[in-house]
Amino acid sequence: MAFKAELLKKKLKEEGKTRDELVADLKKQGCPRHKRTVSRWLAGDNPPKAKDLEALARALNCKPQDFDPFFADIGLGEVSIQAHVSTASHNAYELMRVRYGVSQKQIMELAPVLFAILAAHALKVPDQDDALDREARMNGRPSTQTQSDWIDRQASQLRKCFGLKSRDHNLDPRNLFDTAVQRLSAQASEYVSAEWYVGAAPGDVPGAAGYITDTELLAKITGDDGTLVEAIVKGRIRLSSVLQEVKERKEGASVEGLANALRQAHEARIEGQRAAGLKKLKAWREFYAARHPGLAEEYDALVTQHCHEEGWYPDRYTDDDRIQSWVNPSREDRHINEDTLVEYQRMKAARTEDGTMAFVLPFQDPVYRRFEALQHHRAQLRKQFEETWS
């Protein structure tokens, strides 16, 4: 996203309009937005989407490019291409520019060709699976087929390159496009990697998040710091901004200097997100307490008495999971400390003493069940809060 908040402020001033007047104009344009949303645009915290930019341009008698230089023009007979992509995609564009000397526009020109090739590979995934299964059987190995293969084959026949969803929770169909990306990447593992590729659920269109477009270059500019590599490919850091900052420094742009700049940018982003997250948490707690004061008090008491301290995470959490939980405290990612569950501990001890297997679940403790019930209730109301917050 190349949206520049200062350009919006400048145009608003030139038109002699206030924020509230702009909100009213957007509503007239059929694009109603909350005052808080417009304030975030002006602060540069949350860039507007493509349709918002078009509405802003109409309201302020200008072009979307006056706020976003990368917003593409639409000429006669041309297809509308609006370069509003994730930070992860922007970082991938920047890596390709450094490595291969190609611009975003040149890559976008190639995009239909590359997509068609990948989509074709996706549609061939079931055929590849059949070939692998035949080879396994011929060599006396177990069959590689699964119960969900027929859904993937149906998706291929229907030209659904992203796969098909299943209503049966016992089946696990794939996003064929994701599978094709994984397989093709494995064939070129010395250049690219899908190690952290996020992908998408069957039937959904995946993005670029997590895909390592150049393993060697990323290792070089990060000092082979896996945390920084993951932050770049998942869009936690805006690479072009850091490269520009390093370039403007008088001491020059050493590899070590670039890695340090990336590390500082990552830490600064985490601190900024944490501060914004705490502000949102405060608003959320006030929102909930105003509607359910008794339940809010009960939840806080259970957290104090029975939860691990904030910042404690299960072993299954990845480093990225921990960071995202830390910068988004309003998610209330708190975990029960099983040692504090009196009934659970009593049942475990009783089972051990009488010689039976001590197979007792925390859910059998009434405190645990009550905490889950309160979490569920808060989650339901949080949807309403998110609408007012955004």
Quote the pLDDT of residue 237: 86
Quote the pLDDT of residue 80: 47
Long-range contacts of 139-147 (CB under 8 A, 24+ apart): 146/172, 147/171
Two structure tokens written together for 314: 């299960």
- Residue spans of the chain under pLDDT 50: 1, 73-80, 251
Quote the pLDDT of residue 74: 45
d(CA 362, CA 358): 12
Quote the pLDDT of residue 63: 78
In total, the chain counts a number of residues equal to 390
Q: Rounded to two decimals, what is the model's pTM? A: 0.63
Quote the pLDDT of residue 381: 92
Quote the pLDDT of residue 3: 75
Angle at 320 between CA 272 and CA 231, to 5 degrees: 65
Quote the pLDDT of residue 177: 97
Quote the pLDDT of residue 352: 65
Q: With 0-12 CB in 10 A as exposed, 13-18 as middle and 19+ as buried, what is 298?
A: middle
Quote the pLDDT of residue 257: 78
